[in-house]
């Protein structure tokens, strides 16, 4: 399996521009998570989906952020308009929550997208 795939790996944009980050989860996984990592705040959960349905978006910082999962193999995180404080590494992770007890939090992370907003 190729693991979780994210694109682009690096994104540099100017303030006010729209940014779209993409994620392909591991085939067969039924949960998908979007995280953001900064030096100041560490790793933060933004939103997660179960079977393509958003379950908890309480971590989304504000209305400028939106996420979709149109099918089981693709998700996007969009920032419009982007601001310099959105600069961070954004990770996508997926999980298969069944089988061995306790594997609820066995999440597989992608390589991340490093976003820089100038």
Q: Which residues bind other proteins (CB under 8 A)?
A: 4, 31, 33, 42-43, 45, 48, 56, 59, 91, 93, 95, 97, 101-112
DSSP string for residues in 65-88: EEEEEEETTEEEEEESS--GGG-E
In the complex, least distance from residue 85 CB atom to other proteins, rounded to whole angstroms: 20
Q: Nearer Cβ to other proteins, position 18 or 56?
A: 56
In the complex, least distance from residue 83 CB atom to other proteins, rounded to whole angstroms: 24
Q: Nearer Cβ to other proteins, position 53 or 101?
A: 101
Q: Nearer Cβ to other proteins, position 4 or 21?
A: 4
Q: Is 103 strand, coil or helix?
A: helix
Q: Nearer Cβ to other proteins, position 18 or 113?
A: 113
In the complex, least distance from residue 6 CB atom to other proteins, rounded to whole angstroms: 8
In the complex, least distance from residue 33 CB atom to other proteins, rounded to whole angstroms: 7
Encoded tokens for 35: 């995280």
Q: Is 9 exposed, middle or buried (0-12, 13-18, 19+ CB in 10 A)?
A: exposed
* Residue 40: C-alpha distances to residues 3, 5, 29, 37 (Å): 28, 26, 31, 9
């Amino acid at each position: 399996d190729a693991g979780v795939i994210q694109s682009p790996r690096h994104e540099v944009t100017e303030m006010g521009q729209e940014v779209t980050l993409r994620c392909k989860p591991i085939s067969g996984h039924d949960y998908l998570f979007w995280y953001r990592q900064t030096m100041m705040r560490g790793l933060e959960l933004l939103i997660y989906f179960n079977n393509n349905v958003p379950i908890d978006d309480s971590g989304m910082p504000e209305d400028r952020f939106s996420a979709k999962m149109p099918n089981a193999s693709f998700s996007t995180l969009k920032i419009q308009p982007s601001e310099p404080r959105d600069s961070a590494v954004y990770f996508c992770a997926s999980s298969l929550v069944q089988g061995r007890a306790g594997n609820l939090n066995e999440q597989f992370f992608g390589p991340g997208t490093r976003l820089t907003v100038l």
